[in-house]
């Protein structure tokens, strides 16, 4: 049995202040959940960091990490991604997925023809967006809704994409300006 790949739950950002605090960008539904997971590791597992305490700031956390006591310490770890073992995460509900499970899946049209691969899942504040990378050309950004993505088959390794007929906001502008 192979061990499941670790899941990235946060990224360390720039130093905050002079006492070793860091900006922490959590990728969890509840930003403060990163405290509850225990030690977080780099992807290769060679370094571990424990979030001692954190507070919410605009769109990130300001966190104290065990063993990081100075601004210089904090600056040295800027940009590190932090991971946990999959087993520490709760099971998903029906129709919910971890982004890591979706990225890399084949994207098929309803007839079963491959149109690309799932490149990323984004959320810019107005709902989830699925990004599909076709074999050639620009990626496609589509709403991650039941209408556009009616099937997610993790076991089969694919999603079905029904291209929307019209995406709101794509209507041509008036020629009379």
Q: What is the pLDDT of residues 106-148, one digit of tens each?
A: 999 999 999 999 999 887 777 889 999 999 999 999 999 999 9
Residue-wise pLDDT for 7-50, tens only, equals: 889 999 999 999 999 999 998 888 999 998 889 999 899 999 99
Task: Rounding to the nearest 10 degrees, give the CA dihedral for residues 172, 120, 158, 98.
Answer: -130
Structural domain contains residue 69:
yes
Question: Both 118 and 69 in a single domain?
Answer: no
Structural domain contains residue 123:
yes
Task: Output the domain CATH number for residue 56.
Answer: 2.40.30.60
Q: Collect all residues with Cβ–Cβ distance below 8 Å to 108 and sequence separation of at least 6.
A: 114, 115, 158, 159, 160, 161
Q: What is d(CA 113, CA 32) in angstroms, rounded to the nearest whole number? A: 41
Examine the fold and report which residue of 32, 54, 84 is the final residue of a domain before the chain moves on.
84
Question: pLDDT at position 167, please?
Answer: 54
Question: pLDDT at position 176, please?
Answer: 46
Residue 11, domain extent? 7-84
Residue 33 has what DSSP assignment?
Answer: G
Backbone angles phi and psi of 102, in degrees to 5 = -90, -35
For the chain, how far is it from start to end, CA to CA, in angstroms? Answer: 64
pLDDT at residue 175 greater than cutoff 60: no
Question: Both 76 and 126 in a single domain?
Answer: no
pLDDT at residue 177 greater than cutoff 90: no
Confidence of residue 173 (pLDDT cuts 50, 70, 90): very low
Average pLDDT, the chain: 88
Average pLDDT score over residue span 70-76:
96
Average pLDDT score over residue span 69-94:
91
- Which residue reads 């007929």 in tokens? 165
Q: What is d(CA 50, CA 36) in angstroms, rounded to the nearest whole number? A: 10
Residue 61 C-alpha from the chain's centroid: 16
Question: Both 75 and 114 in a single domain?
Answer: no
What is the value of pTM for the model shown? Answer: 0.69
Question: Both 134 and 71 in a single domain?
Answer: no
Question: Both 11 and 55 in a single domain?
Answer: yes
Q: What is d(CA 87, CA 6) in angstroms, rounded to the nearest whole number? A: 9
């Amino acid at each position: 049995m192979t061990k499941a790949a670790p899941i990235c739950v946060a990224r360390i950002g720039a130093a905050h202040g002079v006492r070793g605090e860091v900006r922490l960008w959590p990728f969890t539904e509840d930003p403060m959940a990163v405290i509850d997971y225990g030690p977080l590791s780099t992807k290769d597992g060679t370094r571990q960091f424990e979030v001692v305490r954190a507070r919410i700031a605009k769109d990130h956390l300001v966190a104290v990490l065990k063993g990081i006591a100075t601004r210089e310490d904090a600056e040295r770890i800027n940009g590190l991604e932090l991971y946990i073992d999959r087993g520490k995460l709760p099971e998903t509900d029906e129709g919910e997925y971890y982004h890591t499970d979706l990225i890399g899946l084949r994207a098929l049209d309803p007839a079963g023809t491959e149109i690309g691969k799932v490149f990323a899942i984004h959320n810019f504040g107005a709902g989830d967006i699925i990004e599909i990378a076709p074999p050639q050309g620009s990626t496609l950004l589509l709403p991650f809704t039941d209408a556009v993505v009616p099937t997610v088959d993790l076991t089969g390794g694919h999603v079905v994409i029904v291209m929307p007929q019209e995406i709101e906001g794509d209507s041509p502008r008036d020629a009379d300006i």
